[in-house]
Amino acid sequence: AQRVTQPEKLLSVFKGAPVELKCNYSYSGSPELFWYVQYSRQRLQLLLRHISRESIKGFTADLNKGETSFHLKKPFAQEEDSAMYYCALTYGGSQGNLIFGKGTKLSVKP
Amino acid sequence: IAGITQAPTSQILAAGRRMTLRCTQDMRHNAMYWYRQDLGLGLRLIHYSNTAGTTGKGEVPDGYSVSRANTDDFPLTLASAVPSQTSVYFCASSAEQNTGELFFGEGSRLTVL
C-alpha cells in the first residue's frame, strides 16, 4: 500500500540553524508530493508541492525518486516556523485523495 | 472570505449518541473530504466526495456516514458515537480531484465519553 513516512515526531532546532524535515514515501509510480503546515491555532494549509519547484517562506523540497524522499529544508530557521508539518502524497489511483504522513512538530527555539 | 466553515467547533458527547458535524464551503469546489487527526497517527481520510451526489470511503470509514446533496455541504454523521471516535475532525475541499491542493476548515474537536 502507498505510504508516507515522517520518521521524526518532534524536531527541535535553534533560531538560525538549518532545518530538514524528513519524508519518505512508498509508491513505485510517479506520485505528486506536498508539504502541508499547521501553525498554532490556524488551519492546515498547503506549503509547497514538488511540481512547482518553488520556495515558500524560505522552504524548499526536492523529490528524489531514487531515494523515494521529499525532505523539507530551510537554511536558517525562524521562530515563526514552529508548527506541525505534514508530508502528503497523491497518485493516479488514489482518486485525488491525499495520503498524509503522521506529521513532524518543528520547534524553533530563540 | 469564509472558505470552509465547520460546526460545531467543539462538542462533548455521550457514547451511543448520534452526532452530525457540519461542513459548508463557499468556493464552489467539486471535491470535499473528511479527515480525523489523532496524536501520533496524523491525518486519516474518513470519507470523500468528488462531486455532488457521489461519495466514497477513505481509510477509516467505519462508524461514519456522509452525504453530498449539493456542492456546498458535506455533513459527517456518527450514528452511535464511541470513545474511539474522540478526535479532531477536519473538513477540506479542492477545486478538482487529483490536484492535491486542499483547503481545510478550522476543525471540530469531538470528545466521546
pLDDT digits (tens, 9 = 90+) for A7-49: 999 999 999 999 999 999 998 777 889 999 999 988 999 999 8
- Measured between alpha carbons, how far is B106 from B89 in angstroms, rounded to an integer? 9
Average pLDDT of span A79-100: 85
What is the pLDDT averaged over residues B16-36?
95
**B43:A97 CB<8 A:** no
Tell me the pLDDT tens digit for each residue of A59-74.
999 888 889 999 999 9
Give yes or no for residue B6 having a pLDDT over 90.
yes
Query: How many C-beta neighbours within 10 Å does residue B3 have?
Result: 15
Asked if A23 and A5 touch (Cβ cutoff 8 Å), the reply is yes
Helices (H) and strands (E) in chain B, counts: 0, 11
Nearest by CB: B42 against A46, A96, A101: A101
Nearest CB to A96: which of B50, B90, B106? B50
Q: Which residues on neighbouring strands pair with residue A90, listed in sequence order? A: A32
| B97·A95 Cβ contact <8 A | yes
Q: How far is CA A24 from the centre of its chain?
A: 10
Residue A11 β-bridge partners = A106
Residue A2 has pLDDT above 80, yes or no: no
How far A40 CA lies from chain B's nearest CA (Å)? Answer: 11
Buried b / exposed e across A78-101, counting CB within 10 Å, b at 16+? eeebbbbbbbbbbbeebebbbbbb
Which residue has better confidence, B11 or A50?
Answer: B11
CB contact under 8 A, A96 and B99: yes
Number of Cβ within a 10 Å radius of residue B58? 19
Given an 8 Å threshold on Cβ–Cβ distance, is B45 in contact with A88? no
The pLDDT of residue A1 is above 90: no
Q: Do residue A96 and residue B105 have CB atoms under 8 angstroms apart? A: no
Look up residue A96 and give its amino acid.
Answer: G
What is the mean pLDDT of the segment spanning B6-31?
Answer: 96
In B, minimum Cα distance to A96 occurs at B98
Instruction: Report how far residue B67's alpha carbon sits from residue B21's, in angstroms, rounded to the nearest whole number.
Output: 11
pLDDT for res B39: 86
Q: B-chain residues within 8 Å CB-CB of A96?
A: 31, 48, 50, 94, 96-100
Count of CB pairs separated by less than 8 Å, A with B: 62
The pLDDT value given to residue A59: 94
Query: What is the rounded CA–CA span in Å between residue B3 and residue B63?
Result: 27
Rounded Cα distance between B95 and B72, Å, is 12
* Closest Cα in chain A, distance from residue B51 (Å): 12
| Mean pLDDT of the B82-105 span | 90
User: Residue A108 in contact with residue A81, Cβ under 8 Å?
Assistant: yes
Is B100 within 8 Å of A43 when comparing Cβ atoms? no
- Three-class secondary structure assignment of A46-76: EEEEHHHCCCECCEEECCECCCCECCEEECC
For chain A, the distance separating the N- and C-terminal CA atoms, rounded to the nearest angstrom, is 41
